[in-house]
């Protein structure tokens, strides 16, 4: 698998970190993991094949993770890059996904689910396997952030990845991410977090230490991280693996 960080930031405007989005490539297809409003242009900037995208995962419906579906689907409907496209686009997320998309659709009058190729909206049941792209198996567990929030586990023949999305501290994530090749965690705050439903470094590092992944990537970094050496701070927790700071444009193969 290859993961391109499209957006390592939050909803707070930042000069070098855009909002949450990752482009995952496997031998069986591509998956956009979260779709920030900046995601469509970030895919173009990174040379990711947005027009051929196979599937999208939406962790929850906050604007910095999901509202890019409107410009993405609008572009796919009208851009010359998708004119010859025939294969379906499958959009996965938690309960209420269809209503979320239809609400944006109604507001803009886009009719964005009416494309010249099939578009499927699939509301995932937690704990039940699903198949987002060819050759890959996934499942999801609820995490404490929004009622529809889900963490994603995806594996193909060679690799495994877990993506927390936004979450408060949640011990079941340790077992969920046990020994995965890449554990992508939100780490919104350095310490003394102001809100319960995000992680700070000590909590993220607890989850890394207890799940023992091959590598861990910290993302969803608020601007307060600008003043901090993330790797140095993380090293104080003696992590069992390499800790990667998500940076827009970073590519990781695993």
- Residues in contact with Zn ion, counted by CB under 5 A, come to a total of 3
- Residues 11-50 as x/- pattern, contact with Zn ion by CB under 5 A: ----------------------------------------
Residue 11 vs 115, nearer CB to Zn ion: 11
Smallest separation (angstroms) from Zn ion to the CB of 95: 16
Smallest separation (angstroms) from Zn ion to the CB of 214: 25
Site for Zn ion in 162-191 (CB under 5 A): 166
**DSSP element (H, E) containing 252:** strand 251-253
Angle, alpha carbons 68-39-115 (nearest 5°): 55
Site for Zn ion in 57-86 (CB under 5 A): 62, 64
Residue 60 vs 155, nearer CB to Zn ion: 60
Smallest separation (angstroms) from Zn ion to the CB of 60: 6
Kindly tell me the burial class for residue 137, based on how many C-beta atoms sit within 10 Å of its own C-beta (0-12, 13-18, 19 or more): middle
- Residue 72 dihedral angles phi and psi, to the nearest 5°: -65, -50
Smallest separation (angstroms) from Zn ion to the CB of 153: 19
Residue 54 vs 166, nearer CB to Zn ion: 166
Q: Look at residue 224 and give its three-state secondary structure.
A: helix
Residue 61 vs 92, nearer CB to Zn ion: 61
Separation in Å, CA 181 to CA 6, 55, 65, 233: 20, 21, 23, 22
Smallest separation (angstroms) from Zn ion to the CB of 58: 11
- The CA-to-CA distance between both ends of the chain, in Å, stands at 6
Rg of the chain over Cα atoms, rounded to whole angstroms, equals 17
- Residues 137-166 as x/- pattern, contact with Zn ion by CB under 5 A: -----------------------------x
In angstroms, the CA 218 to CA 201 distance is 9
Smallest separation (angstroms) from Zn ion to the CB of 220: 6
Residue 155 vs 170, nearer CB to Zn ion: 170
Residue with tokens 């686009």: 89
Q: Look at residue 225 and give its three-state secondary structure.
A: helix
Query: Which residues of the shown chain bind Zn ion in the complex (CB under 5 A)?
Result: 62, 64, 166
């Amino acid at each position: 698998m290859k993961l391109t960080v499209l957006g390592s930031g939050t909803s707070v405007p930042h000069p070098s970190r855009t909002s949450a989005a990752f482009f995952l490539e496997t031998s069986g297809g591509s998956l956009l993991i979260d779709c920030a409003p900046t995601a469509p242009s970030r895919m173009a900037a990174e040379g990711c094949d947005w027009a051929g995208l196979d599937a999208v995962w939406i962790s929850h419906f906050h604007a910095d993770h999901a509202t890019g579906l409107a410009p993405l689907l609008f572009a796919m409907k009208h851009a010359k890059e998708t004119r010859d496209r025939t294969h379906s686009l499958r959009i996965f997320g938690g309960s209420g996904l269809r209503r979320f998309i239809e609400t944006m659709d109604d507001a803009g009058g886009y009719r964005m689910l009416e494309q010249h190729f099939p578009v499927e909206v699939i509301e995932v049941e937690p704990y039940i396997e699903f198949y987002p792209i060819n050759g890959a198996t996934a499942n999801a567990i609820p995490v404490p952030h929004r009622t529809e929030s889900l963490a994603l586990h995806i594996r193909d023949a060679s690799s495994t990845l877990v993506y927390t999305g936004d979450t408060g501290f949640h011990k079941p994530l340790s077992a969920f991410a046990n020994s995965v090749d890449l554990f992508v965690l939100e780490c919104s705050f350095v310490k003394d977090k102001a809100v319960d439903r995000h992680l700070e470094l000590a909590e993220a590092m607890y989850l890394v230490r207890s799940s023992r992944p091959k590598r861990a990537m910290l993302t969803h970094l608020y601007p307060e991280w600008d003043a901090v050496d993330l790797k140095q701070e993380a090293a104080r927790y003696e992590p069992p693996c390499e800790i990667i700071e998500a940076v827009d444009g970073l590519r990781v193969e695993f």
